[in-house]
Structure 1
């Protein structure tokens, strides 16, 4: 969507340059067909300056020299030419690494110096346009790189915190399950001869605890394995609806509203998935709710998650560890999470997660 918007802006800018240059050319009389071609050659590279930045800058400089030296556009009436040169120089500086954008600057300054053969004051004015546009592009590129690095650092910290959390979860799984298994095994050994029914009941608890621990361990280990992409949900519409389906299987009616859920970057989509997962788990296990609403709405620079149930607010709030985990995930991305009784009854979890504009959408 944003690439399309950029192309539309470039085409509109090229059309504006063409109109301004065409009007200036008519001040010298009715332009011949080849003069119109030169005017078009000044404007056309502006439309493709993001895709072919360096060729566009070179073509604009060559065409600008042609229309000025050939007298198609008077030197005093060339704002359209200046705009075309500035736009392509800016695109070269903002879109290319420094070693590749310097030739565009050098060619622009050389062209500006060459104009001094026709107009003594032209080198200073034209050179200022070229240098100013190129410098602005470099500043924008530098700021963009800093923003990308900051986003990568945030992602790295979030991954580290996530793995630490998984490590804590694995410790809890092992400690809790082995404690229960050990205790029930001791009971079974002591009562097996005199009260075999209690021994069988203890063995059933051991079996259930062992199976649940194995399932949770497989999930945790799957998340730690970087090469197992499918083990980690993408957080898209299909994954969210799978969570909803499991909640409905447990007897909770779920109403959903999903808007542009694939817009955020992949790491943010995973946070959204985990928040919805934990919120629905609390609804099923603690809230004794019969229905709930799940809303996920992504905008151009943030996503909002809202899960509201009609159960017991106090019971729902009891899942302290789950709420703390949700807050940690959301806070890792500079977001906020509110959880508490809803004004109309039940319990509400609302999360707001921002993300940089340049990170959105396409990383999956």
Structure 2
């Protein structure tokens, strides 16, 4: 990606990078990101007259396919600074123009090289504020999560990237990440431990890149369907798989380990509730009106009965469907238990295999 040709003289610069892929919701600005833009629009660093020295927002697609420059400083028709009654409305108009530009950003290339996209966006620009609107699930370049996995040490990953000269140039930049872990399409939602590790990776990368500050905005926003249609790789996550089926419907299987179900339990763990909130966002972003199908499954431990396993599977399906509704799913939900899947058993050689049983305890959600 080639650096931008931007004259950084005068005013403040806010750089916004959006990945906007097919496997994440349409990018939107959080209130924290909007405040950064408002502060820049109100900056005293702009020239009093219309000399071009204004605060500016630079909006870029992470894959370099699109970039826009939007002036934030409110000015009158003669170019002088606006200090009158219209100032707040003009600033809001300019900030909304940035929000619209971010929402209209669309990935045009397969894969996400977020490190490269960040570096290209800030090169040639005087350090200021950087807003990264992305799931953070990088699948290209030096930081490919499909290769890094979920068990690496974040500091080690950052050191390895530094040794390859693959880190973005963030010296003196104040960085805000938004949307980390927010997914859509065929990308499985992240269980709590994977989401936490993703944050740790980006924290370590940002710090190792010598940024002046690295903040993460976890505030959830209403998920909108992605605009991108280019094929996007999926990052595997532990305990959750998603498969695209006929007519574009997605079937997501959430394992016992991700839901927290054990033995005859139908109680969701706190981490499972967070995962299901993320899945609800994917369901909303899919924009479909047909019913969400939830099916529960149970293992067959010694002493269990067909009726008991059916009741447990029903309860697990209802618990998950209730959590999805609470998280904002408005489509009809068809929840039911399958019991023990025909042809599967956790009994091997007359002994109960807990590993096999854990694989049998799961819930499948199709939307």
For the superposition of Structure 1 and Structure 2, which TM-score range results when normalised by the shorter chain?
Answer: under 0.3
Largest Rg, 1 or 2 = 1
TM-score by length of 2: 0.27
Length-normalised TM-score, structure 1 = 0.27
> Which is richer in strand?
2
